[in-house]
């Protein structure tokens, strides 16, 4: 039989903290998006000439946040 090795307590604590922090940030982003959804759509559609640039900005910002870790 193979020997069962226990995980490092520090690594387990770090993983739990990252999970809790990520959950809190995700919940805050969901609340912020639902609260400011109308204002965001008004900003995106305000100027037809620059709406393509604004859409790119809105799509690149979450991508950058997801790639940061």
Neighbouring residues of 54: CB distance < 8 A, sequence distance ≥ 6: 43, 44
Residue 2 has what pLDDT?
80
In 1-69, alpha helices (H): 9-35, 37-45, 51-67
CA 66 vs CA 11, 22, 27: distances in Å:
22, 11, 15
pLDDT value of position 69:
67
| pLDDT tens per residue across span 12-49 | 999 999 999 989 988 888 898 889 889 888 887 887 77
Q: Where are the domains of the chain?
A: 9-67
CB-based contact 40:58 (threshold 8 Å): yes
């Amino acid at each position: 039989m193979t020997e069962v090795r226990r995980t490092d307590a520090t690594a387990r604590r770090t993983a739990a903290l990252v999970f809790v922090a990520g959950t809190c940030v995700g919940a805050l982003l969901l609340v912020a998006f639902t609260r400011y959804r109308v204002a965001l759509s008004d900003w995106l559609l305000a100027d037809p000439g620059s709406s393509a640039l604004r859409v790119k900005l809105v799509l690149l910002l979450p991508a950058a946040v997801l790639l940061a870790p």
